[in-house]
Every structure is written in structure tokens, then in C-alpha cells.
Amino acid sequence: MDTELLKTFMEVSRTRHFGRAAENLYLTQSAVSFRVRQLEGLLGVELFSRQRNNIRLTPAGEKLLPLAESSVMLEQRIRQEVATAEGMSEQISLGATPNLWDAFLQDQLTVMMNTLNGVALNALAHSSGNLVRQIAERTLDLAFVFDAPKAEELTTVAVLDIPLYLVSSQPQEDWQSALESNYVLVDWGTSFRIQHAQEFKGANPPMLQTNTGRIALDCLLSVSGGGAAYLPVSLIRQYVDEKRLFIVPDAPVVNRTVYASFQADSSRKELISDIIGLIRDQLSQTELL
């Protein structure tokens, strides 16, 4: 099946608008409509429910979307493999949730690029569910997640523990005060959500909820009146040293385990092992607050 048709379908699904999809794809709106009709004709189903100012996926469209994403990613993976075969000895595709890129992996990417000679890296950010699905479909080699996936075909190992500190823009604040106003609740995975609910029963609803630590950090530093959030050392050390953020002393430190997951029979197991070992070595030198 022509992946250009799938890409067009995915863009219409994302924008929910044929005109905006056409602009993003540098096509005319009629060309986008034609491609969607062509794909619907090939599959024998309607993919979109078309109502004025309300374009929605049909049940068939919902089923097609993850398959289309996998097909497009597989095509990209094949192109990358062939393109790097001459210039590089090996290629590896790794991914993590946005929070894990913020917490540690962004810095480690530079270390990998400086250390892994002849290796082409493909770095991606996705939700945990998407990462595990891509590992299972072999469109991704290595995924870093907070919640260990349970699948027989995958090997999952603990890589490191990340301590999360409750920090506030206000000095000498206790945890009750920190959670009362301008609290930003960051989603650090299922175990964190459970522990947070147990530790802080009856707390006020947060000012903001986000799945990205950097968004929370920006709010604490720039919103009038500041705020508080649970964040890792890598994001807060500079601002704690500068006394722009302060550790809330009576709040519990929450430790989250990071897992690496990959196909048990992966042809890149040796390289994956090298990457995990490299990350462990680097982070063992990181000082806590």
C-alpha cells in the first residue's frame, strides 16, 4: 500500500481538517481529498465521518490509525537502515517518554554520540504505550520507560533510580503550603500517581497537570507567585544552587525506577547492552541534592 496515502490519512486525522492537512503536506485540498477517497476505495470502508466543521474518525479509521503509524515508521526505518549502511557500521533507534528525556536521557544522548563511534542514532519521544508497541513491532530497538512492560517477547531491565524532590519557588515552605497554591502535578508514571495520592490525601487540585517536567519547571520559574512541583535533580540543581528554587524539607522524596525494554532476540543486543552500561556508568557519578 502506498505510504503517501497513509501519511495523508494520518495528517487529516491529526488536524481534523482537510485544509490544514493540505497546508502541512504542501498539497491542494482537492489532492488530500482524492488521496483519502483513494485509500477508502482500496480498503472498502469509510475512514472519516464528514460533517461541517466536524471531521472525525470512523471505527474503521480508529483501527487503521495505529497500523498506518506502524507502516510509515517501518518505511522510515528501512530507508534509514539502507542510507546509513555505507557511512555507519550500525544504527540503533531508541525512545523514551518526554519526562525521561527531561530527567536524564537528553544529557546521555550527547555522551552516546561522543562515545559510540560508527553508530547512527535515531532518538524519539513517545508515550509509554507507543514505545512498547513499537518495540513489539520492531520499529524501535530500545525504549526507556517508568512502568516495566509485561510481555514475554521483551527483555526488560532496571537501569537506574531517579529521585524526585518536591521543590518550591518559596523558601521555608512545608508540603501543605506547597500543595495549596500553584502546585503543578507532573505525571511520573503509575507508581508515582499511586504514591502521590496516598501521601497527599485531601490536597487541593493542582493548578496545572502535565506529563513533562520541563513545562512544570518553566511554570515555577516564570508564573507570578511561583509554585511547586516534583522534579528530578537534573532539572532543578542549577536553580536550587541559585536559590531560585527550594527543596521542601518535610516532603517525601519519591524514587522512580527507569527500565530499559527491548526485543529478547534483538540483533542489536550487544549494542543495547553497551548503551545501558554507558548510561549506568555516567549516572553513577551524579551527586544527589
| Judgement on whether residues 57 and 195 belong to the same structural domain of the protein | no
Q: Of 64, 80, 96, which residue is a domain's last? A: 80
* pLDDT (0 to 100) of residue 287: 64
* Residue 56 CB partners (closer than 8 Å, separation 6+): 16, 48, 49
* Residue 227 CB partners (closer than 8 Å, separation 6+): 168, 169, 181, 182, 183, 184, 207, 219, 220
| Judgement on whether residues 28 and 146 belong to the same structural domain of the protein | no
Q: β-strands 208-210, 228-232: how paired?
A: unpaired
> How many domains does the chain contain in total?
3
| Judgement on whether residues 18 and 8 belong to the same structural domain of the protein | yes
Q: Which residue has the cell 536550587?
A: 240
Output the domain CATH number for residue 174: 3.40.190.10
* pLDDT (0 to 100) of residue 204: 86
Phi and psi based region of residue 227 (left: phi greater than 0; alpha: psi -120 to 50; beta: remaining): left
Q: Of 27, 45, 80, which residue is a domain's last? A: 80
| Judgement on whether residues 58 and 177 belong to the same structural domain of the protein | no
| Judgement on whether residues 133 and 123 belong to the same structural domain of the protein | yes
| Judgement on whether residues 155 and 177 belong to the same structural domain of the protein | no
Identify any residues that bridge with 193 across adjacent strands, giving them in sequence order.
none
| Judgement on whether residues 7 and 64 belong to the same structural domain of the protein | yes
| Judgement on whether residues 68 and 188 belong to the same structural domain of the protein | no
Report field, pTM of the whole predicted structure over 0.85:
no
| Judgement on whether residues 188 and 239 belong to the same structural domain of the protein | yes
| pLDDT one digit per residue (tens) for the chain, 289 residues | 788 899 899 989 988 888 888 888 888 889 889 999 999 999 999 999 887 778 899 999 999 998 888 888 777 767 666 655 555 568 899 999 999 998 889 889 988 988 888 888 889 998 888 898 889 888 899 999 998 888 888 999 999 999 999 999 999 788 999 998 789 999 998 889 999 999 888 888 899 999 899 999 999 999 888 899 999 999 999 999 999 999 999 999 999 999 999 999 998 899 999 999 999 888 876 666 6
Rounded CA gap, 72 and 93, in Å?
15
Residue 35 falls within a domain, yes or no?
yes
Residue 288 falls within a domain, yes or no?
no
| Judgement on whether residues 137 and 154 belong to the same structural domain of the protein | yes
| Judgement on whether residues 9 and 56 belong to the same structural domain of the protein | yes
Domain that holds residue 264: 83-159+258-283
| Judgement on whether residues 91 and 130 belong to the same structural domain of the protein | yes
